[in-house]
Amino acid sequence: MAKVLNPLMSVDARGTISGCTYSRGSTGPTVRRKGIPVRRVRTTQPYNRALLGYLSRNWSTLNNSQRESWRDWAATHPKVNSMGETYQQSGFNAFVGLNAMAMRLGATLFFTVISAPVADLQVGMATLEAVDGAAAGVITLNWTLLGTGVAGDFIEIQTSGPYCSEGRVEITNYRFDKSVDGLIVTADTSVLEVLAWYWLRARYVQFDGQTSAWLYAQHQAPDVP
């Protein structure tokens, strides 16, 4: 899917033409290839679908006061799309987004946040450094926190690569590597391709699904411990 400005040289466009479907959502106008849904049983897609379905059904169980708390929270927490434009998310989007984030990273209780958070994120990340790990193909990440880490929160780590050389081009195809407890300030990646270059990023994720900004680092996976 691509986000567009002035699609088809117009103010707006809707519908499908030449295999492309034009529509408008909360993030603005978009265009995507018309495709046939595929159930990819060997990926995370079935889990993600089940998770979003679970949260969508539970939205209907909230009372008016709880729903209003999510609408109020969403009204004061605008999002930014890939074109840098600010848009307003709905209370439903905020509810699903925060709960899905918390549950995806290992929250032990389903439905962790029924009413919207009463305070913004309390902890952030200040620095991120990548160094050789203790085993071949392992990169160690060290970070410092803005505030005090909390047990039950998470540090999410993602990687992008392998690449044949160090680069300066913006990278977007990150994949989840692991999450660790919010009290931890260092962690090893999974075993990566030896001597390949990797982009790495990490962020602090509060138990209620609120996240800090990503911090980035680049490093070459070592060939010897």
Q: Which regions of the chain are under pLDDT 70?
A: 1-15, 17-19, 25-27, 33-44, 82, 107-113, 225
Burial tier of 28 (Cβ tally within 10 Å: 0-12, 13-18, 19+): middle
**Per-residue model confidence (pLDDT) at position 175:** 92
How far is it, in rounded angstroms, from Cα 78 to Cα 57? 24
**pLDDT tens profile 109-138:** 555 567 888 889 999 999 999 999 999 999
Fold of 124-220: Immunoglobulin-like (2.60.40)
pTM: 0.74
**pLDDT tens profile 17-26:** 666 777 776 6
Residue ranges per domain, the chain? Answer: 2-33, 45-104, 124-220
Mark out the alpha helices in the chain (DSSP H runs): 45-59, 64-75, 91-104
